[in-house]
Chains A and B, each alone.
Chain A
């Protein structure tokens, strides 16, 4: 069974631009969560999608948004990028009713 796939692996963007990251969950998983990982703050929950609906949201500004498609694939978007948005963005998928989250390799975003 293929794992969680995130694309792209690396991105370099300029301050003020926007970016879209993609995540394909494990086949059959309907829950997709996004996390931001930085050296200072660690792993911070961004939001979770289940059956195309946002089920939970972390404490991030509105510049961070996401969506989920009918095939459970998910995207997250960050608008008006700031230097502090530089981080490893991780996507995790879970099966229905299960808490075990399986992570992708992440997208390393660098904002310059």
Chain B
């Protein structure tokens, strides 16, 4: 089936550092979403992107919808311990008009105080 390649798989950084992760696909996506999941909980929506080239911020988080519509990245600036968790990208295929989302495999972020 369709896949999103998310990288890196995991990151271990020092508090205060900036973080960058990205997702790529061979398919065109209409929408890119970024989620954060804490252990034992459901994913929480961080940022939604709807147009190619769109750059959107949510506090210390910034995400961009790639020009080719086949990729997206998420940046976290000045990381803090509560940023720890698993970050997922998700996309809706260009040919789809339903709520079906394709998810990346996740980036596990650990922050050292």
* CB pair A103 B43 closer than 8 Å: yes
Given contacts A42-B106, A43-B88, A59-B1, contact A103 B99 (CB under 8 A): no
Roughly how many angstroms separate A38 CA and B1 CA in the complex, as a whole number? 17
Interface residues on B, range: 20 to 34
CA gap between A48 and B35 in the complex, in Å: 19
Interface size, A (range):
20 to 34
The answer to whether B103 and A42 touch across the interface, beta carbons within 8 angstroms, is yes
Q: List A contacts of B44 (CB < 8 A).
A: 103
- Among B50, B92, B100, the one with the most A-chain Cβ atoms within 10 Å of its Cβ is B100
> A33-B99, A45-B101, A50-B99 known; A99 and B45 CB under 8 Å?
no
Which residues 12-37 of A have a CB within 8 angstroms of B? Answer: 31, 33, 35
Question: Within 8 Å of chain A (Cβ to Cβ): is B113?
Answer: no
**B56 proximal to A (CB < 8 A):** no
Encode B75-113 as 1/0 by CB contact (under 8 A) with A. 000000000000010101000101111111110000000
Q: Chain A interface (Cβ within 8 Å of chain B)?
A: 4, 6, 31, 33, 35, 42-45, 48, 50, 55-56, 58-59, 90, 92, 94, 99-106, 108
